[in-house]
Structure 1
Amino acid sequence: MDMKTTFCEHCRKDVLYTEKNELMNAELKGEIYNYYGKLAVCNECNNEIFVNDINDYNLEQLYNEFRKQNNIISLTNIMEIPEKYNIGKRPLSLLLGWGEQTFSRYYDGDMPTQQYSAILQRIYDEPSFYLSILESNKEKLKSKSAYEKSKLATDKLLETQNVSNGEKIDVVGNYLVSKCEDITPLALQKLLYYVQGFYYAFTNQFIFEENCEAWIHGPVYRDIYFKYKEYKFDPMGISEVIDNFNLTVSEKAIIDSVIKNLSCYSGKVLEAFTHAETPWLETRGDLPIAASSDRQIEKRLIGDYFSAVKEKTNMLNPSDIGVYSKKMFEQISM
């Protein structure tokens, strides 16, 4: 514990005080949030005292908790964006078609809307997305050098990305197996399918390139099937602890929500979900129920279906996936 000096309003003099960590709660925008903050305690009278720096720290922790629970990009990530892409705050606002001072306000601590937050989070996570904005809107920048410097930085970021699309399905699969207790191969296949669908719904792009096939028991990713085939109907586990899954914040947010809202159902229940959904039904067509098939479910079908689900159920962020899972469970239970 650090000891510093400040004025104690109880002792009426400058005193040494001790900082203590404590679980706190406070109201923000009508909701109560719990967070870990600090108290300043006078070493002479043992009363809590006010210290500007500690008050600022506690407010920062409160706002951080608010951001976390409402899927708002962290201030740290916002502040890293200009350096990451070698672009100024004003040029970035212009590039995004925002007011010239908008990004600067967010950089200084103002809270972005969920819409703007989603854009900034995706920019932070995905250099390819930022590059598409840079190329499409470069005429909005006031100097050619600003474009060239930012493009060079972005190209370097893209060159250093070490996880190819072909490997991403394995990364997601390993993450699911490590996070879901008692997951079976059947459940894993369905969760991969839901990750693919909901990731597209929220980002307008697919998280991995592989196509799934419309097998008897629902969508199946063939390579993943053979990877875990030996487990049959038994739960799986990974043989080593993996700390770094090379997943972005946005990817983890969506995958974690799929885990929270869909892994609670068994593989057979998830199979029933997929049997009631357009991608599997349309791909199977008039095939008999028990007929084997290697027909590929087009990613377009998956993207269109889950985008429509998101719009129809008014999903604002990944946590809303639970609305859909409950609806599907009620539907198959009728």
Structure 2
Amino acid sequence: MSKLIKKVFLDNCPVCDQAHEVKEFEDDAQVIIKGEQITYKERYFYCENADIDESEFIPARMANKNLLAARDNYRKKHHLLTSRDIVDLRKDYDLSQVELARLLGWGEATISRYESKAIQDESHDMMLQLIRKDPLTILDLLERNSSKFTDSEKKAIQNKVEQNLESYGRENLSRQNLTSNYVGYLDPSDQNGQTSLNIDKIEAVISYIASRVNNLHKVKLMKLLWYIDSISVKQTGQAITGLVYRHEEMGALPIGHRNLVALNNVNTREELSNNGYEMIHFYPSDKVKMSVLTKADKKILDTVIKKFKDFNAKSIIDYMHQEIAYKETKPNEIITFNLAKKLREF
């Protein structure tokens, strides 16, 4: 179904040759990429002065953006970095497109093509992913391709890597701490909703909720996470986060919840309640890559947020205590996701 995005004034409408306001719409479209049918959001203009059969038009620049959106959906489907991911990666180190290509030993136009139209192959994507996960890789590549950079360029890159390493060290350590709690739950199973622990999604989910729920505190967040994963399992057969939950007095609580809260990219503040108690308040984080959340993920998140947005901690605990998944497990037992099938309808 078409969705009106905005209205734009054109000095010379290519359909009617007049200066007037046109409407910009967005609609689902499909295209074949590398033999696969990919669904994406296509944008187009609508001229009300033209006959109905000739009223829609797509300028060249918009057509390029549409094609890029389709290619990015292909990338997401195959777990490749999107064009936006590559742009963000390059900006993390203040590198131009040519500089990043030189650093990797690729043709100078390669990064430009990946950011605008071409889909990277798996070997190139692996290199980009490696740089994204470990700043030290940049230094190794810089040494290998040092002849392609001036001394001042090398110094600038080294300084940026040093800045990023401090942040990377904190982030990596916080992730290792949470991952250590999940050594016994690495393989997809009914305990983790057939999903291995996905810290990128955990961070994105928390930030997404925090941007839409005021006064988001730990007790409420932990219940929202359980409902999100349970509904996802019920609808798709797989959880979103890969977290494993135990039956606790206040409802479902993820294993390693203290390390979860301490993740470097989870934005929290300790604040005093009206009663003088210290509470952990969650806020959106600008460090999180929200692109890891799919449209289906966000739909599930929105469903849970709509249901529980105005619940306080006690209300959501009481509500969860009535779930069969909670009633049929004992204290400290893992709440397996086969019980998600018995989740009450919202």
Give the alignment's TM-score, normalised by structure 1: 0.49
Higher helix proportion: 1
